[in-house]
Amino acid sequence: MYGNPDEIPVTETTLPKPAESPYGYTMQIEEKIVNEATKTLLTQSILLRYFNPAGAHPSVQIGEIPIGKPENLIPSITQTGIGKLPELKVYGNDYPTRDGSCIRDYIHVSDIAHAHTLALQYLLNKKNKLACEVFNLGTGTGVTVLEVIKAFEKVSRVKLNYVINPRRPGDVVAVYANNELARKVLGWDPQYSLDDMMSTAWKWEHKLKEDASIYTNPNFMMN
C-alpha cells in the first residue's frame, strides 16, 4: 500500500509512494474504489490496512492453505520445514537493513480478526467521524526475513534449509506500521508475538500433513 516510504513507521496519513508491485497497485486502487463508493452511496466504511498476516488460529482448526507454491514468507518457511519444499529462497541480503534482508511487520491473523469485529462495532455504534476511515493493522515492530527464520528455528527446533538469492523485483526495503490510531480509536491491542505466529503456523502445517495422511490412507478410502 505504502510503496517504499520515506519514513517508517508509516501512519494512516503517510502519502503512498508508487507501488513496487502489481499487488501493491491493486491495494491502492481498491482503496480509491471504496472511497468513491462511500461518497456515491452516501454510506460509511472503514479501510483496514493489513501489514503481513501470519500464523493460524490457536485451536489449529483454521489456517492458511496456499494454492500451489506459497508466495508469502510464513507458509514458505513451514512448508520447507516440514519437507514439502526442498529449500526456502531468501531474496536479497544486501538491503540497507540490520542484517541485509527486507523488513516487514508481521501480525497474527487472530489479531486481525479481532480488529474486524471492533471496526464493525465502531460503525454500528455510529462512532465514525468521517464517512471513510483508515486504520493500520500491524504490530508496530519491523522484523527482517532472517529474524523470522530464526524465530521459526527457535520455536520448531528445526534447522531450516534456506539459500540467499538475488533481490526480487517489487520488494520494498522496509515498512512497518504505526498502529496508535487503531489502539486509540478502536481499542485494538495486538496480543500475539512473532513466536506465537510461528508456533501456530507450525502446528497448522503439522495438522495439514496429518489430515493428508488420513485421507490418502487406503483403509480410510475403503471405509
pLDDT tens column, 70-102: 989 999 999 999 999 999 999 999 999 999 999
pLDDT tier at 215 (50, 70, 90 boundaries)?
very low
The span from the CA of 105 to the CA of 112, in Å, is 13
Q: Cβ of 125: how many Cβ atoms within 10 Å?
A: 8
| Tens of pLDDT, residues 5-22 | 888 899 999 988 888 788
Residue 201's Cβ-count burial label (10 Å; 0-12, 13-18, 19+) is buried
Domain boundaries, the chain: 22-222
Task: Label residue 213 by pLDDT band (50, 70, 90).
Answer: low
Distance separating alpha carbons of residues 78 and 70, to the nearest angstrom: 10
Contact 64, 77 (CB under 8 A): no
Question: Cα 211 to the chain's mean position, in Å?
Answer: 25
Fold of the domain built from segment(s) 22-222: UDP-galactose 4-epimerase; domain 1 (3.90.25)
Q: What is the pLDDT of residue 29?
A: 93
Q: Are 51 and 176 a contacting pair, CB within 8 Å?
A: yes
Helical packing angle, 73-82 and 145-156, nearest 10°:
40
Question: Catalytic residue numbers?
Answer: 23
More confident residue, 216 or 87: 87
* Cα separation, 164 vs 149, whole angstroms: 12
The overall average pLDDT reported for the chain is 91
pLDDT tens by residue, 129-181: 999 999 999 999 999 999 999 999 999 999 999 999 999 988 889 999 999 99
pLDDT confidence of residue 49 = 94
Q: Which residue has the higher pLDDT, 151 or 4?
A: 151
Type of residue numbered 93: N
17 or 207, which is more confident: 207
First to last CA, the chain: 49
Q: What is the pLDDT of residue 223?
A: 40
Percent with pLDDT over 90 in the chain: 75
Q: Residues 182-203: what's their mean pLDDT?
A: 98
Residue 217 pLDDT: 45
Strands 143-144 and 103-104: antiparallel
